[in-house]
C-alpha cells in the first residue's frame, strides 16, 4: 500500500477515498481510445479501493443514440470493466445528463444571481465585427463586451426579441493546477475568454454540465483525455464559484491521459479499423490480451516484463506513473501480447472461447461448446495442444482445425499450398498411399505413422523431409500451414486420410 513511494515526485497526494468517473457520450461505436480512458479510470479505482461512477454525457440529442449506449455497455462488460455507481445502479435522473436539465437550470440561476455569470447577447458575427474593428485577429474569440451591459441595454435587446446566452465571468489571473500526470500547469491570465455555459434557448453546455455532475456526485479525481486539457482552467474557475455557492467542495484533481494514436501523427480515429473494439474482438482478441496491450499505452508494468494479468495490473497501477506523451497503437504488438494470453489460457477455456468463432466460420454446428456433437468435442479436445500455440487470435482457430473436423474426401488446396506440389509429388503420394495401406487401423497412431513414412520416403528413398511431407500435408489439410502432420492424420483417421491422398493423387 505504499502508493506514495512509487509515484512520481511532486505529484499530488490522492484523496483518502478516490471517486472517479467514466462519462462518454453515446455517439458511435466504442473505440479503443475510449476504452483506454475507461480502463485507467477503472484501474485507479480498483487499485486504491475507490469508487468508479459511470454516467452518460448525452446532451447532444442530435448525435446521441440508444444503440451507441448499448454498445458501450457491452464493450465494458466484455472488457471486464465494472462500476460501482451510475447507470443501472441508481436513478437515471442522476446519471443521464439528458434528464437533468432542471438541475443545470437551477445552478445557472444561482451563478447568475451571484454575479459569477452574466447574460450575453452578442452573436458570433457581432463579436467578430468588434474584433475586426479593434484590429484583433479573427480568431481572438469573445471580447467580454456584455460584461458591463446596463439594465437599459438589456431591456432593449429583450424588446428586440433577443435571448441571452449565459457566460461565466473569468477572473483576470493565472490559473494553475498540479496535474496528476503532467505536474504543474499554468494558464496565463487572459488566455481564455468568458465562455458560454448556457445557450440562449436554455440548454446547458458541457462546460457547465460536466463540472456540476462531478460536483454533485463527489468526484474528486478526474482522468480524461488530453484533448480536454484546455478546458480544465475554465472548469477550475467554475468550481471556485460552485464552491462559494456551496454546490462543490473544491475542484477535483485532474490527470490528463495521453492520446492513443493511429496512423501517422493523428489521434486514432473511427476510420482506423483497429480503433473499433468490436472489430478487434471479431478478429479474436481476448479481453486479457487487449486489456494488457491497452494498459501498456502510456504506462509500463515493469522494466523487463510486459505481459501480465488483470490482477497484476490493478495491483501495480498508479495513474501518477502514466506517461504524458501520446502512444501509437501497434497492432502487431497487440497481437503478440494477445497470443501470449491465448497460450496462457486453460485448454478447456481456450476451446470454449474458440467455439463461437468456429461456429461463425462454419466449422462446427453450434456456438456454445456444450451444444457441440460428441465427435466435434472429441476432435477439438485432441486438437487443442496442436493449435493453442499456433494461433495469435481466436479467429485463426478455424483455419487450423477445419481440416481435422471435416470429413470431406478432398480439400481444394489453397493457392500457396498448391505451390508445394512440385515435380515428384505424384511419386511421393503413390508411395505414401502404398505404405499407409499396410498400417492397421489399430496402429494408426502418430508415432507409427511418422516412423512408417519416414522409413519409406526419407530413409529408403532419400527424399528430403520438406519434399516428402509437403504434398502429404496438402492432401490432408489443403493448406501449406497446418497443425502437425502425423498428429493430424491420427485425429482424422485412416479412411478419410486415405481418401484424401488418393483424391489429390488423381488430380495432379
Partner RNA sequence: GCCCCCAUCGUCUAAUGGUUAGGACAUCAGACUUUCAAUCUGACAACAAGAGUUCGAUUCUCUUUGGGGGUACCA
Residues 244-303 close enough to bind RNA by CB under 7 A: 256, 258-259, 261, 265-267, 296-300, 303
Minimum distance between the CB of residue 485 and RNA, rounded to whole angstroms? 3
Minimum distance between the CB of residue 370 and RNA, rounded to whole angstroms? 28
Residue among 236, 257, 311 at smallest CA distance from 32: 257
* Binding status of residue 165 toward RNA by CB under 7 A: yes
**Which stretch in 31-39, 84-92, 329-337, 373-381 sits in contact with RNA by CB under 7 A?**
329-337
Among 199, 244, 271, 506, binds RNA (CB under 7 A): 199
Interacting positions 486-505 with RNA (CB under 7 A): 486-487
**Separation of alpha carbons 14 and 481, rounded Å:** 53
Minimum distance between the CB of residue 367 and RNA, rounded to whole angstroms? 25
* Binding status of residue 153 toward RNA by CB under 7 A: no
**Which stretch in 214-222, 245-253, 370-378, 484-492 sits in contact with RNA by CB under 7 A?**
484-492
DSSP state of 203: P
Minimum distance between the CB of residue 294 and RNA, rounded to whole angstroms? 10
**DSSP E strands, 155-252:** 165-168, 175-179, 183-187, 196-198, 221-225
Among 481, 493, 507, 508, binds RNA (CB under 7 A): 481
Interacting positions 41-60 with RNA (CB under 7 A): 57, 59-60
**17 vs 163 by CB, closer to RNA:** 163
Minimum distance between the CB of residue 368 and RNA, rounded to whole angstroms? 27
**Which stretch in 36-44, 368-376, 427-435, 461-469 sits in contact with RNA by CB under 7 A?**
461-469
# residues contacting RNA (CB under 7 A): 85
* Binding status of residue 12 toward RNA by CB under 7 A: no
**Separation of alpha carbons 238 and 173, rounded Å:** 14
Among 74, 84, 321, 427, binds RNA (CB under 7 A): 321
**369 vs 490 by CB, closer to RNA:** 490
Which burial class, exposed, middle or buried, applies to 292 when counting CB atoms under 10 A from its CB (0-12, 13-18, 19+)?
Answer: buried
Which burial class, exposed, middle or buried, applies to 467 when counting CB atoms under 10 A from its CB (0-12, 13-18, 19+)?
Answer: middle
Quick check: 351 and 369 in contact, CB under 8 A?
Answer: yes
**105 vs 327 by CB, closer to RNA:** 327
Residue among 228, 214, 110 at smallest CA distance from 166: 110
Interacting positions 208-237 with RNA (CB under 7 A): 210, 226-231
**Separation of alpha carbons 468 and 10, rounded Å:** 67
- Identify the H or E element spanning 330: none
Interacting positions 396-435 with RNA (CB under 7 A): none
Quick check: 18 and 52 in contact, CB under 8 A?
Answer: no
CA 138 from centroid of its chain's CA atoms: 39
Among 2, 161, 311, 466, binds RNA (CB under 7 A): 466
Quick check: 180 and 221 in contact, CB under 8 A?
Answer: yes
**Which stretch in 32-40, 68-76, 283-291, 318-326 sits in contact with RNA by CB under 7 A?**
318-326
- Tell me the DSSP string of 359-418: HHTTSSS-SSGGGS-HHHHHHHHHHHHHHTTT-SSGGGHHHHHHHHH---S--PPPHHHH
How many residues belong to the chain?
508
Interacting positions 107-146 with RNA (CB under 7 A): 120, 122-124, 137, 139-142
Amino acid at each position: 500500500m505504499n502508493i506514495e513511494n512509487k509515484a512520481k515526485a511532486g505529484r499530488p497526494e490522492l484523496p483518502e477515498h478516490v471517486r472517479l468517473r467514466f462519462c462518454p457520450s453515446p455517439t458511435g461505436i466504442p473505440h479503443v481510445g475510449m476504452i483506454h480512458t475507461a480502463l485507467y479510470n477503472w484501474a485507479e479505482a480498483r487499485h486504491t479501493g475507490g469508487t468508479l461512477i459511470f454516467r452518460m454525457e448525452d446532451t447532444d440529442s442530435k448525435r446521441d443514440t440508444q444503440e451507441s449506449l448499448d454498445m458501450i455497455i457491452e464493450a465494458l462488460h466484455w472488457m471486464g470493466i465494472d462500476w460501482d455507481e451510475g447507470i443501472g445502479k441508481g436513478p437515471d435522473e442522476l446519471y443521464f445528463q439528458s434528464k437533468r436539465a432542471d438541475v443545470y437550470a437551477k445552478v445557472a440561476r444561482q451563478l447568475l444571481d451571484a454575479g459569477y455569470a452574466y447574460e450575453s447577447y452578442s452573436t458570433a458575427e457581432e463579436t467578430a465585427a468588434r474584433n475586426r474593428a479593434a484590429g484583433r485577429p479573427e480568431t481572438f474569440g469573445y471580447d467580454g463586451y456584455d460584461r458591463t451591459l446596463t439594465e437599459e441595454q438589456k431591456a432593449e435587446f429583450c424588446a428586440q426579441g433577443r435571448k441571452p446566452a449565459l457566460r461565466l465571468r473569468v477572473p483576470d489571473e493565472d490559473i494553475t493546477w498540479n496535474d496528476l500526470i503532467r505536474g504543474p500547469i499554468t494558464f496565463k491570465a487572459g488566455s481564455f475568454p468568458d465562455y458560454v455555459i448556457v445557450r440562449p434557448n436554455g440548454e446547458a453546455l458541457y462546460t457547465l454540465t460536466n463540472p456540476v455532475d462531478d460536483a454533485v456526485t463527489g468526484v474528486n479525481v478526474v482522468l480524461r483525455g488530453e484533448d480536454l486539457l484546455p478546458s480544465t482552467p475554465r472548469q477550475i474557475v467554475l468550481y471556485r464559484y460552485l464552491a462559494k455557492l456551496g454546490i462543490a467542495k473544491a475542484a477535483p484533481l485532474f490527470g490528463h491521459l495521453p492520446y492513443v494514436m493511429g496512423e501517422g501523427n493523428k489521434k486514432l480515429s473511427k476510420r482506423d479499423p483497429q480503433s473499433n473494439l468490436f472489430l478487434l474482438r471479431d478478429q479474436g482478441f481476448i479481453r486479457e490480451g487487449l486489456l494488457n496491450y491497452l494498459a501498456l499505452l502510456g504506462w509500463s508494468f515493469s522494466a523487463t516484463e510486459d505481459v501480465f494479468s488483470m490482477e497484476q495490473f490493478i495491483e501495480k497501477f498508479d495513474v501518477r506513473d502514466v506517461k504524458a506523451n501520446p502512444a501509437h497503437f501497434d497492432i502487431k504488438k497487440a497481437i503478440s501480447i494477445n497470443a501470449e494470453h491465448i497460450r496462457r489460457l486453460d485448454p478447456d477455456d481456450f476451446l470454449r472461447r474458440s467455439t463461437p468463432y468456429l461456429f461463425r466460420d462454419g466449422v462446427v454446428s453450434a456456438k456454445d461448446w456444450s451444444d457441440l456433437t460428441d465427435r466435434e468435442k472429441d476432435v477439438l479436445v485432441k486438437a487443442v495442444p496442436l493449435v493453442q500455440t499456433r494461433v495469435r487470435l481466436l479467429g485463426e482457430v478455424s483455419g487450423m482445425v477445419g481440416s481435422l473436423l471435416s470429413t470431406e474426401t478432398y480439400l481444394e488446396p489453397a493457392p500457396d499450398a498448391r505451390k508445394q506440389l512440385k515435380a515428384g509429388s505424384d511419386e511421393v503420394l503413390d508411395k505414401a498411399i502404398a505404405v499407409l495401406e499396410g498400417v492397421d487401423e489399430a496402429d494408426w497412431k502418430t508415432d507409427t505413422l511418422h516412423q512408417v513414412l519416414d522409413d519409406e520416403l526419407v530413409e529408403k528413398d532419400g527424399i528430403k523431409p520438406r519434399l516428402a511431407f509437403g504434398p502429404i500435408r496438402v492432401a490432408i489439410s489443403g493448406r501449406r500451414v497446418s497443425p502437425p502432420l502425423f498428429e493430424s492424420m491420427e485425429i482424422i483417421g485412416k479412411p478419410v486420410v486415405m481418401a484424401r491422398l488418393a483424391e489429390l493423387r488423381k488430380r495432379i
